[in-house]
Structure 1
Amino acid sequence: MLTDTETLRTAGYRTGIRWADTGEAIRIAQQVTGHGDVVRQPWLTLPSVAALVRRPALVNAVADVIGADIALEGGFLLIKWPGADFRVPWHQDGAGDGVELDPNRSVTVWVALTAATAANGALHVIPGSHRLGYLPTRREDPHGGRHGRALTTVVPPGGPEPVVVEVPAGEAALMDVRLLHSSPPNTTDQPRVGLNLRCVAPGAVTRRDGLKPQLYPIAGPSW
Protein backbone atom coordinates (compact mmCIF):
# COMPACT_ATOMS: atom_id res chain seq x y z
CA MET A 1 0.00 0.00 0.00
CA LEU A 2 1.28 3.46 -0.89
CA THR A 3 1.87 6.01 1.83
CA ASP A 4 0.15 9.40 1.59
CA THR A 5 3.36 11.01 0.33
CA GLU A 6 3.88 8.25 -2.26
CA THR A 7 0.27 8.66 -3.45
CA LEU A 8 0.87 12.38 -4.00
CA ARG A 9 4.12 11.66 -5.83
CA THR A 10 2.57 8.96 -8.06
CA ALA A 11 -0.88 10.37 -8.90
CA GLY A 12 -0.10 14.03 -8.29
CA TYR A 13 -2.80 14.43 -5.65
CA ARG A 14 -4.23 12.91 -2.51
CA THR A 15 -7.51 13.38 -0.64
CA GLY A 16 -8.97 12.56 2.76
CA ILE A 17 -7.40 15.31 4.90
CA ARG A 18 -10.00 16.05 7.57
CA TRP A 19 -9.61 19.56 9.06
CA ALA A 20 -13.11 20.14 10.55
CA ASP A 21 -16.43 18.39 10.94
CA THR A 22 -19.07 19.06 8.31
CA GLY A 23 -21.12 21.45 10.42
CA GLU A 24 -18.16 23.65 11.33
CA ALA A 25 -16.98 23.81 7.72
CA ILE A 26 -20.41 24.90 6.53
CA ARG A 27 -20.60 27.57 9.26
CA ILE A 28 -17.28 28.98 8.02
CA ALA A 29 -18.64 28.91 4.46
CA GLN A 30 -21.59 30.99 5.59
CA GLN A 31 -19.26 33.49 7.28
CA VAL A 32 -17.16 34.06 4.16
CA THR A 33 -19.94 34.12 1.56
CA GLY A 34 -20.90 37.56 0.31
CA HIS A 35 -17.45 39.01 -0.39
CA GLY A 36 -17.38 38.18 -4.09
CA ASP A 37 -17.13 35.12 -6.32
CA VAL A 38 -13.31 35.18 -6.09
CA VAL A 39 -11.49 36.67 -3.10
CA ARG A 40 -7.72 36.71 -3.57
CA GLN A 41 -5.53 36.29 -0.47
CA PRO A 42 -8.64 35.99 1.74
CA TRP A 43 -6.55 35.39 4.87
CA LEU A 44 -5.72 39.12 4.79
CA THR A 45 -9.36 40.26 4.97
CA LEU A 46 -11.41 37.39 6.42
CA PRO A 47 -10.53 36.40 10.02
CA SER A 48 -12.13 32.96 9.72
CA VAL A 49 -9.87 32.15 6.76
CA ALA A 50 -6.81 33.51 8.59
CA ALA A 51 -7.54 31.01 11.38
CA LEU A 52 -8.39 28.19 8.99
CA VAL A 53 -5.06 28.26 7.12
CA ARG A 54 -3.27 27.49 10.40
CA ARG A 55 -5.37 24.44 11.27
CA PRO A 56 -3.01 21.70 12.51
CA ALA A 57 -4.45 19.08 10.17
CA LEU A 58 -3.69 21.25 7.12
CA VAL A 59 -0.29 22.43 8.35
CA ASN A 60 0.79 18.90 9.24
CA ALA A 61 -0.28 17.52 5.85
CA VAL A 62 1.71 20.22 4.06
CA ALA A 63 4.71 19.75 6.37
CA ASP A 64 4.83 16.06 5.42
CA VAL A 65 5.46 17.18 1.82
CA ILE A 66 7.60 20.34 1.97
CA GLY A 67 8.83 20.57 5.58
CA ALA A 68 7.89 22.53 8.67
CA ASP A 69 8.60 26.04 7.31
CA ILE A 70 5.45 26.98 5.42
CA ALA A 71 4.18 30.20 3.88
CA LEU A 72 1.34 31.06 1.53
CA GLU A 73 2.54 32.32 -1.83
CA GLY A 74 -1.01 32.92 -3.08
CA GLY A 75 -4.49 31.56 -3.29
CA PHE A 76 -8.12 32.50 -3.26
CA LEU A 77 -11.59 31.82 -1.92
CA LEU A 78 -13.84 30.71 -4.76
CA ILE A 79 -17.64 30.51 -4.75
CA LYS A 80 -19.46 28.82 -7.59
CA TRP A 81 -23.06 29.96 -7.55
CA PRO A 82 -25.85 27.78 -8.94
CA GLY A 83 -26.42 28.32 -12.62
CA ALA A 84 -23.50 30.72 -13.14
CA ASP A 85 -21.23 30.11 -16.11
CA PHE A 86 -18.17 29.79 -13.88
CA ARG A 87 -15.74 27.26 -15.27
CA VAL A 88 -12.00 27.11 -14.58
CA PRO A 89 -9.91 25.97 -17.58
CA TRP A 90 -7.11 23.42 -17.51
CA HIS A 91 -4.09 24.86 -15.75
CA GLN A 92 -1.16 24.20 -13.40
CA ASP A 93 -0.93 26.15 -10.15
CA GLY A 94 2.84 26.47 -10.04
CA ALA A 95 3.49 28.61 -13.12
CA GLY A 96 1.88 31.87 -14.13
CA ASP A 97 2.59 35.08 -15.98
CA GLY A 98 5.10 36.30 -13.43
CA VAL A 99 6.02 33.46 -11.09
CA GLU A 100 7.21 29.86 -11.01
CA LEU A 101 7.19 27.55 -7.99
CA ASP A 102 9.76 24.84 -7.31
CA PRO A 103 7.59 21.69 -7.28
CA ASN A 104 9.88 20.07 -4.72
CA ARG A 105 9.24 22.90 -2.25
CA SER A 106 5.61 23.75 -2.90
CA VAL A 107 2.16 22.15 -2.85
CA THR A 108 -1.44 23.22 -3.41
CA VAL A 109 -4.09 22.63 -0.77
CA TRP A 110 -7.70 22.61 -1.95
CA VAL A 111 -10.03 23.07 1.04
CA ALA A 112 -13.74 22.24 0.86
CA LEU A 113 -15.96 24.54 2.94
CA THR A 114 -19.01 22.96 1.32
CA ALA A 115 -18.97 19.56 -0.37
CA ALA A 116 -17.38 19.57 -3.82
CA THR A 117 -19.23 17.09 -6.04
CA ALA A 118 -19.37 16.13 -9.69
CA ALA A 119 -22.61 18.10 -10.01
CA ASN A 120 -21.50 21.36 -8.37
CA GLY A 121 -18.13 21.91 -10.03
CA ALA A 122 -15.60 19.71 -8.24
CA LEU A 123 -12.04 19.56 -9.54
CA HIS A 124 -11.24 17.44 -12.57
CA VAL A 125 -7.62 16.27 -12.59
CA ILE A 126 -5.42 14.29 -14.98
CA PRO A 127 -3.62 11.74 -12.77
CA GLY A 128 0.12 11.68 -13.25
CA SER A 129 0.19 14.80 -15.41
CA HIS A 130 2.58 16.50 -12.96
CA ARG A 131 5.31 14.26 -14.36
CA LEU A 132 5.13 16.20 -17.64
CA GLY A 133 6.61 19.26 -15.92
CA TYR A 134 5.40 22.76 -16.64
CA LEU A 135 3.61 23.00 -19.97
CA PRO A 136 2.98 25.87 -22.45
CA THR A 137 0.16 28.27 -21.61
CA ARG A 138 -2.17 30.66 -23.43
CA ARG A 139 -5.13 32.89 -22.62
CA GLU A 140 -8.39 30.96 -22.79
CA ASP A 141 -10.99 31.73 -25.44
CA PRO A 142 -13.97 33.88 -24.39
CA HIS A 143 -16.88 31.72 -23.21
CA GLY A 144 -19.42 34.23 -21.97
CA GLY A 145 -18.53 33.97 -18.28
CA ARG A 146 -17.95 36.87 -15.91
CA HIS A 147 -14.40 36.04 -14.90
CA GLY A 148 -12.34 37.11 -17.89
CA ARG A 149 -9.89 35.06 -19.93
CA ALA A 150 -7.85 32.96 -17.55
CA LEU A 151 -4.37 31.60 -18.24
CA THR A 152 -4.83 28.02 -19.39
CA THR A 153 -2.43 25.15 -20.06
CA VAL A 154 -2.31 23.27 -23.34
CA VAL A 155 -3.18 19.66 -22.49
CA PRO A 156 -1.06 17.15 -24.44
CA PRO A 157 -3.02 14.50 -26.37
CA GLY A 158 -2.96 10.83 -25.50
CA GLY A 159 -2.78 11.11 -21.71
CA PRO A 160 -4.94 9.51 -19.03
CA GLU A 161 -8.61 10.43 -18.84
CA PRO A 162 -9.53 13.12 -16.30
CA VAL A 163 -11.09 12.04 -13.02
CA VAL A 164 -13.42 13.97 -10.72
CA VAL A 165 -12.04 14.68 -7.24
CA GLU A 166 -15.01 14.93 -4.89
CA VAL A 167 -14.13 16.44 -1.50
CA PRO A 168 -16.62 16.43 1.42
CA ALA A 169 -17.15 19.58 3.46
CA GLY A 170 -14.45 19.77 6.13
CA GLU A 171 -11.88 17.83 4.11
CA ALA A 172 -9.02 18.94 1.86
CA ALA A 173 -6.91 17.61 -0.99
CA LEU A 174 -3.21 18.13 -1.73
CA MET A 175 -2.01 18.60 -5.31
CA ASP A 176 1.40 18.79 -6.93
CA VAL A 177 1.67 22.34 -8.31
CA ARG A 178 2.26 20.88 -11.80
CA LEU A 179 -0.90 18.73 -11.79
CA LEU A 180 -3.29 19.58 -14.64
CA HIS A 181 -6.73 20.39 -13.27
CA SER A 182 -9.91 22.26 -14.16
CA SER A 183 -13.49 22.57 -12.94
CA PRO A 184 -16.90 22.94 -14.62
CA PRO A 185 -19.85 25.16 -13.61
CA ASN A 186 -22.14 24.39 -10.68
CA THR A 187 -25.36 22.75 -11.91
CA THR A 188 -26.99 22.29 -8.48
CA ASP A 189 -29.21 24.67 -6.49
CA GLN A 190 -26.61 25.36 -3.75
CA PRO A 191 -23.31 27.29 -3.84
CA ARG A 192 -20.00 25.48 -3.85
CA VAL A 193 -17.43 27.17 -1.61
CA GLY A 194 -13.75 26.22 -1.74
CA LEU A 195 -10.36 27.60 -0.79
CA ASN A 196 -7.20 27.23 -2.87
CA LEU A 197 -3.88 27.66 -1.03
CA ARG A 198 -0.44 27.62 -2.67
CA CYS A 199 1.96 26.65 0.10
CA VAL A 200 5.73 27.06 -0.20
CA ALA A 201 8.93 26.37 1.70
CA PRO A 202 11.84 28.85 1.77
CA GLY A 203 13.36 29.39 -1.66
CA ALA A 204 10.44 27.90 -3.58
CA VAL A 205 9.34 31.04 -5.44
CA THR A 206 10.99 32.54 -8.52
CA ARG A 207 9.55 35.83 -9.73
CA ARG A 208 10.31 36.68 -13.32
CA ASP A 209 10.69 40.37 -12.48
CA GLY A 210 13.45 39.52 -10.00
CA LEU A 211 11.64 41.05 -7.03
CA LYS A 212 11.31 39.38 -3.65
CA PRO A 213 8.05 37.41 -3.34
CA GLN A 214 5.43 38.59 -0.88
CA LEU A 215 4.74 35.61 1.36
CA TYR A 216 2.40 35.00 4.31
CA PRO A 217 4.11 32.69 6.84
CA ILE A 218 1.87 30.22 8.66
CA ALA A 219 4.32 27.78 10.28
CA GLY A 220 7.99 27.26 11.08
CA PRO A 221 10.84 29.41 12.45
CA SER A 222 12.64 30.31 9.21
CA TRP A 223 10.54 33.30 8.20
Structure 2
Amino acid sequence: MESVITDFNENGFSILHGILASETLEAVKHECKTLVDALASQRQTEGKLANMYPDADFETRLIRLYENYPDENPTIFRPELHREGFFGVFAHSILLELAGVILGPEIRLYPNYSVRPKLPENKRTEVLWHQDAGYTSKEADVLRMMNVWAPLVPVNIENGCMEFIPGSHKWGVVPHEKDEYYLRIHDDYIKPVEADAVSIEILPGDVVIFSNLLFHRGLPNRAQHVRWSLDFRYQDATQPTLRTTQGHLLRSQRTPEAVVKDAKAWAQLEFQ
Protein backbone atom coordinates (compact mmCIF):
# COMPACT_ATOMS: atom_id res chain seq x y z
CA MET A 1 0.00 0.00 0.00
CA GLU A 2 2.76 2.44 0.94
CA SER A 3 4.70 1.97 -2.32
CA VAL A 4 1.51 2.28 -4.38
CA ILE A 5 0.64 5.58 -2.70
CA THR A 6 4.22 6.83 -3.15
CA ASP A 7 4.13 6.02 -6.88
CA PHE A 8 0.74 7.68 -7.22
CA ASN A 9 1.91 10.86 -5.49
CA GLU A 10 5.31 11.10 -7.18
CA ASN A 11 4.64 9.79 -10.70
CA GLY A 12 0.91 10.37 -10.94
CA PHE A 13 0.14 6.66 -11.41
CA SER A 14 0.74 3.19 -10.03
CA ILE A 15 0.24 -0.29 -11.50
CA LEU A 16 -1.35 -2.98 -9.34
CA HIS A 17 -0.73 -6.43 -10.79
CA GLY A 18 -3.25 -9.25 -10.50
CA ILE A 19 -5.67 -7.69 -8.03
CA LEU A 20 -8.86 -8.52 -9.95
CA ALA A 21 -9.87 -12.15 -9.48
CA SER A 22 -10.79 -14.23 -12.52
CA GLU A 23 -14.43 -14.51 -11.42
CA THR A 24 -14.67 -10.71 -11.13
CA LEU A 25 -13.28 -10.30 -14.64
CA GLU A 26 -15.54 -13.01 -16.03
CA ALA A 27 -18.58 -11.27 -14.55
CA VAL A 28 -17.61 -8.05 -16.34
CA LYS A 29 -16.94 -9.87 -19.61
CA HIS A 30 -20.28 -11.66 -19.34
CA GLU A 31 -22.06 -8.32 -19.08
CA CYS A 32 -20.08 -6.96 -22.05
CA LYS A 33 -21.05 -10.00 -24.09
CA THR A 34 -24.68 -9.39 -23.16
CA LEU A 35 -24.39 -5.82 -24.43
CA VAL A 36 -22.91 -7.10 -27.69
CA ASP A 37 -25.72 -9.67 -28.00
CA ALA A 38 -28.23 -6.84 -27.75
CA LEU A 39 -26.42 -4.87 -30.45
CA ALA A 40 -26.38 -7.90 -32.73
CA SER A 41 -30.14 -8.41 -32.32
CA GLN A 42 -30.80 -4.72 -32.94
CA ARG A 43 -28.71 -4.64 -36.11
CA GLN A 44 -30.38 -7.76 -37.45
CA THR A 45 -33.77 -6.15 -36.81
CA GLU A 46 -32.58 -3.06 -38.70
CA GLY A 47 -31.64 -5.23 -41.67
CA LYS A 48 -27.93 -4.45 -41.33
CA LEU A 49 -26.83 -7.92 -40.31
CA ALA A 50 -27.59 -11.28 -41.89
CA ASN A 51 -25.35 -13.25 -39.51
CA MET A 52 -25.11 -12.36 -35.81
CA TYR A 53 -21.84 -14.34 -35.46
CA PRO A 54 -22.85 -16.02 -32.18
CA ASP A 55 -19.73 -18.23 -32.21
CA ALA A 56 -17.23 -15.39 -32.68
CA ASP A 57 -15.00 -14.83 -29.66
CA PHE A 58 -15.10 -11.87 -27.28
CA GLU A 59 -12.17 -10.08 -28.92
CA THR A 60 -13.49 -10.17 -32.51
CA ARG A 61 -17.30 -10.38 -32.53
CA LEU A 62 -17.88 -6.62 -32.42
CA ILE A 63 -15.64 -6.21 -35.48
CA ARG A 64 -17.75 -8.72 -37.40
CA LEU A 65 -21.00 -7.01 -36.42
CA TYR A 66 -19.85 -3.69 -37.89
CA GLU A 67 -17.51 -4.73 -40.70
CA ASN A 68 -19.87 -3.30 -43.34
CA TYR A 69 -20.68 -0.18 -41.28
CA PRO A 70 -17.39 0.82 -39.62
CA ASP A 71 -18.60 4.32 -38.73
CA GLU A 72 -21.49 2.94 -36.68
CA ASN A 73 -19.60 0.81 -34.18
CA PRO A 74 -19.91 1.85 -30.53
CA THR A 75 -16.84 3.42 -28.93
CA ILE A 76 -18.17 3.58 -25.37
CA PHE A 77 -20.78 2.05 -23.05
CA ARG A 78 -21.82 4.14 -20.06
CA PRO A 79 -25.52 4.21 -19.03
CA GLU A 80 -25.58 0.50 -19.96
CA LEU A 81 -23.24 -0.35 -17.07
CA HIS A 82 -25.92 -0.57 -14.40
CA ARG A 83 -25.79 -4.35 -14.49
CA GLU A 84 -24.84 -6.58 -11.56
CA GLY A 85 -21.61 -7.91 -13.06
CA PHE A 86 -19.91 -4.51 -13.14
CA PHE A 87 -20.35 -3.78 -9.44
CA GLY A 88 -17.57 -6.14 -8.33
CA VAL A 89 -14.98 -3.94 -10.02
CA PHE A 90 -16.50 -0.55 -9.18
CA ALA A 91 -16.80 -1.51 -5.49
CA HIS A 92 -13.63 -3.63 -5.31
CA SER A 93 -12.40 -3.69 -1.70
CA ILE A 94 -8.71 -3.07 -2.49
CA LEU A 95 -9.49 -0.17 -4.82
CA LEU A 96 -11.85 1.41 -2.30
CA GLU A 97 -9.20 0.95 0.40
CA LEU A 98 -6.68 2.80 -1.76
CA ALA A 99 -9.23 5.48 -2.56
CA GLY A 100 -9.85 5.88 1.16
CA VAL A 101 -6.16 6.54 1.80
CA ILE A 102 -5.83 8.97 -1.13
CA LEU A 103 -9.20 10.72 -0.93
CA GLY A 104 -10.62 10.21 2.55
CA PRO A 105 -13.64 8.35 3.97
CA GLU A 106 -16.30 9.84 1.68
CA ILE A 107 -15.95 8.18 -1.72
CA ARG A 108 -18.09 8.75 -4.77
CA LEU A 109 -18.01 6.83 -8.04
CA TYR A 110 -17.61 9.87 -10.28
CA PRO A 111 -20.18 10.13 -13.12
CA ASN A 112 -17.69 9.08 -15.78
CA TYR A 113 -17.53 5.28 -15.69
CA SER A 114 -17.16 3.49 -19.00
CA VAL A 115 -16.47 0.33 -20.95
CA ARG A 116 -14.53 1.08 -24.12
CA PRO A 117 -14.22 -1.31 -27.06
CA LYS A 118 -11.26 0.01 -29.04
CA LEU A 119 -11.67 -1.35 -32.58
CA PRO A 120 -8.73 -1.69 -34.98
CA GLU A 121 -7.71 1.26 -37.15
CA ASN A 122 -10.54 3.48 -35.96
CA LYS A 123 -9.75 7.18 -35.47
CA ARG A 124 -12.74 7.56 -33.17
CA THR A 125 -10.96 5.43 -30.54
CA GLU A 126 -7.50 6.97 -30.85
CA VAL A 127 -7.47 9.18 -27.77
CA LEU A 128 -5.02 12.08 -27.92
CA TRP A 129 -2.80 13.52 -25.19
CA HIS A 130 -5.09 14.98 -22.55
CA GLN A 131 -5.86 15.33 -18.88
CA ASP A 132 -9.21 14.04 -17.70
CA ALA A 133 -9.55 17.29 -15.78
CA GLY A 134 -9.27 19.11 -19.11
CA TYR A 135 -12.73 17.80 -20.01
CA THR A 136 -14.34 19.18 -16.86
CA SER A 137 -13.56 22.84 -16.24
CA LYS A 138 -10.75 25.27 -15.45
CA GLU A 139 -11.48 24.65 -11.77
CA ALA A 140 -11.02 20.87 -12.10
CA ASP A 141 -7.53 20.89 -10.60
CA VAL A 142 -9.17 21.25 -7.18
CA LEU A 143 -11.02 17.94 -7.59
CA ARG A 144 -9.54 15.15 -5.49
CA MET A 145 -9.81 12.04 -7.63
CA MET A 146 -8.29 8.62 -8.25
CA ASN A 147 -8.74 7.25 -11.77
CA VAL A 148 -8.85 3.51 -12.41
CA TRP A 149 -8.19 1.70 -15.69
CA ALA A 150 -8.58 -2.07 -16.09
CA PRO A 151 -8.08 -4.02 -19.32
CA LEU A 152 -10.31 -6.98 -20.17
CA VAL A 153 -7.77 -8.33 -22.71
CA PRO A 154 -3.94 -8.13 -22.69
CA VAL A 155 -2.94 -4.61 -23.72
CA ASN A 156 0.26 -3.60 -25.48
CA ILE A 157 1.59 -1.06 -27.96
CA GLU A 158 0.18 -3.01 -30.90
CA ASN A 159 -3.44 -3.01 -29.74
CA GLY A 160 -3.44 0.51 -28.34
CA CYS A 161 -2.30 0.60 -24.72
CA MET A 162 -2.24 3.83 -22.77
CA GLU A 163 0.80 6.05 -22.41
CA PHE A 164 1.57 8.33 -19.46
CA ILE A 165 3.93 11.26 -18.85
CA PRO A 166 5.25 10.59 -15.31
CA GLY A 167 5.04 13.56 -12.99
CA SER A 168 2.84 15.65 -15.29
CA HIS A 169 0.04 15.62 -12.71
CA LYS A 170 1.97 18.22 -10.73
CA TRP A 171 1.48 20.94 -13.36
CA GLY A 172 -2.21 21.65 -12.85
CA VAL A 173 -4.76 21.83 -15.66
CA VAL A 174 -3.01 22.96 -18.85
CA PRO A 175 -4.66 24.42 -22.00
CA HIS A 176 -6.47 21.95 -24.27
CA GLU A 177 -7.80 22.45 -27.78
CA LYS A 178 -10.46 20.68 -29.80
CA ASP A 179 -9.36 18.10 -32.34
CA GLU A 180 -11.63 16.08 -34.64
CA TYR A 181 -13.00 13.74 -31.96
CA TYR A 182 -11.29 14.70 -28.71
CA LEU A 183 -9.64 17.49 -26.80
CA ARG A 184 -5.85 17.46 -26.82
CA ILE A 185 -3.19 19.22 -24.82
CA HIS A 186 -1.76 22.24 -26.60
CA ASP A 187 1.53 21.46 -28.37
CA ASP A 188 3.42 24.00 -26.26
CA TYR A 189 2.81 21.83 -23.21
CA ILE A 190 3.09 18.29 -24.61
CA LYS A 191 5.94 18.53 -27.13
CA PRO A 192 8.69 19.29 -24.58
CA VAL A 193 7.83 16.17 -22.52
CA GLU A 194 6.41 13.71 -25.05
CA ALA A 195 9.70 11.79 -25.22
CA ASP A 196 9.26 10.93 -21.51
CA ALA A 197 6.13 8.87 -22.21
CA VAL A 198 5.89 5.34 -20.80
CA SER A 199 3.71 2.64 -22.34
CA ILE A 200 1.37 0.82 -19.95
CA GLU A 201 1.42 -2.81 -21.14
CA ILE A 202 -0.55 -4.93 -18.69
CA LEU A 203 -2.78 -8.00 -18.44
CA PRO A 204 -6.39 -8.69 -17.42
CA GLY A 205 -6.46 -8.68 -13.62
CA ASP A 206 -4.00 -5.78 -13.50
CA VAL A 207 -5.24 -2.29 -12.69
CA VAL A 208 -3.71 1.16 -13.11
CA ILE A 209 -4.62 4.00 -10.79
CA PHE A 210 -3.71 7.51 -11.89
CA SER A 211 -4.35 11.19 -11.27
CA ASN A 212 -7.02 13.05 -13.20
CA LEU A 213 -4.29 15.64 -13.91
CA LEU A 214 -1.85 13.16 -15.50
CA PHE A 215 -1.00 13.65 -19.20
CA HIS A 216 -2.09 10.45 -20.96
CA ARG A 217 -3.31 9.09 -24.30
CA GLY A 218 -4.50 5.88 -25.95
CA LEU A 219 -2.42 4.59 -28.86
CA PRO A 220 -4.12 3.40 -32.08
CA ASN A 221 -5.18 -0.24 -32.20
CA ARG A 222 -3.19 -1.91 -34.98
CA ALA A 223 -4.11 -5.46 -33.99
CA GLN A 224 -6.91 -7.55 -35.44
CA HIS A 225 -9.04 -7.67 -32.32
CA VAL A 226 -10.94 -5.35 -30.00
CA ARG A 227 -9.04 -3.88 -27.07
CA TRP A 228 -11.71 -3.99 -24.35
CA SER A 229 -11.16 -1.96 -21.18
CA LEU A 230 -13.02 -0.54 -18.21
CA ASP A 231 -12.31 2.90 -16.75
CA PHE A 232 -13.80 4.80 -13.84
CA ARG A 233 -12.97 7.40 -11.22
CA TYR A 234 -13.34 7.75 -7.48
CA GLN A 235 -13.81 11.24 -6.05
CA ASP A 236 -13.81 12.81 -2.61
CA ALA A 237 -17.59 12.95 -2.16
CA THR A 238 -17.41 16.10 -0.04
CA GLN A 239 -16.57 17.98 -3.25
CA PRO A 240 -18.88 18.93 -6.14
CA THR A 241 -18.54 16.97 -9.37
CA LEU A 242 -18.50 20.17 -11.49
CA ARG A 243 -20.92 18.33 -13.77
CA THR A 244 -24.68 18.14 -14.02
CA THR A 245 -24.45 14.48 -12.93
CA GLN A 246 -23.61 13.42 -9.36
CA GLY A 247 -22.41 9.82 -9.52
CA HIS A 248 -22.98 7.27 -6.75
CA LEU A 249 -21.75 7.01 -3.16
CA LEU A 250 -19.66 3.89 -2.46
CA ARG A 251 -18.24 4.66 1.01
CA SER A 252 -19.38 7.07 3.69
CA GLN A 253 -19.03 7.65 7.41
CA ARG A 254 -21.42 10.60 7.32
CA THR A 255 -24.31 8.95 5.44
CA PRO A 256 -23.70 5.19 5.32
CA GLU A 257 -27.37 4.60 4.49
CA ALA A 258 -26.83 6.35 1.12
CA VAL A 259 -24.06 4.00 -0.03
CA VAL A 260 -24.83 1.59 -2.90
CA LYS A 261 -24.93 -1.59 -0.83
CA ASP A 262 -24.61 -4.41 -3.37
CA ALA A 263 -24.79 -5.53 -6.99
CA LYS A 264 -28.58 -5.78 -7.01
CA ALA A 265 -28.91 -2.22 -5.76
CA TRP A 266 -26.40 -1.06 -8.38
CA ALA A 267 -28.43 -2.68 -11.16
CA GLN A 268 -31.54 -0.76 -10.08
CA LEU A 269 -29.81 2.63 -10.41
CA GLU A 270 -29.19 4.80 -13.45
CA PHE A 271 -26.31 6.87 -14.76
CA GLN A 272 -26.75 10.18 -12.99
TM-score in terms of structure 2 length: 0.69
Q: Which residue of 2 aligns with 1:76?
A: 114
Tell me by how many angstroms 1:220 deviates: 2.3
- Root-mean-square deviation (CA, aligned residues, Å) is 2.5
Instruction: Report the residue type matching 2:206 in the other structure.
Output: E
The partner residue of 2:157 within 115, 118, 125 is 118
- Which structure has the higher relative contact order (CA within 8 Å, separation 6+)? 1
- Counterpart of 2:91 in structure 1 is 54
User: 1:214 Cα deviation (Å)?
Assistant: 1.1
Moved more, 77-86 or 21-30: 21-30
Q: 2:235 aligns with which of 161, 182, 200?
A: 200
Return 5+ residue gaps in structure 1 as ranges: 143-148
Q: Which residue is equivalent to 2:192?
A: 158
Corresponding position: 1:222 with 2:254: yes
Q: Does 2:68 align with 1:31?
A: no
1:102–1:134 CA distance, 2 compared to 1 (3 A): closer
- Report if aligned partners of 1:125, 1:163 keep a CA contact under 8 Å in 2: yes
Is the alpha carbon distance of 1:93 and 1:194 closer, same or farther for their aligned partners in structure 2, counting shifts above 3 Å?
same
Alpha-carbon distance in structure 2 between the residues aligned to 1:29 and 1:192: 12
Residues 1:188 and 1:30: Cα distance change in structure 2 (over 3 Å): farther
CA deviation vs aligned residue, 1:20-71 (integer Å, no higher than 9, x gap): 235752552243142643012554x332113320111221222221123211
AA at the equivalent of 2:247:
L
Greater C-alpha Rg: 2
Most deviating of 116-125 and 91-100: 91-100
Q: Return the letter of the residue paired with 2:32.
A: V
Residue identity in the other structure for 2:126: R
1:95-120: CA deviation from partner (whole Å, max 9, x where unpaired): 32558545562111112222221211
Identity of matched residues, %: 20
1:70-149 matched pairs, under 5 angstroms: 70-73=107-110, 74-85=112-123, 86-98=125-137, 100-102=139-141, 105-140=144-179, 142=180, 149=181
The equivalent position to 1:174 in structure 2, one of 209, 214, 218, is 209
Q: Which has the higher strand share?
A: 1
Structure (1/2) with the larger helix percentage: 2
Number of residue pairs aligned between Structure 1 and Structure 2? 211
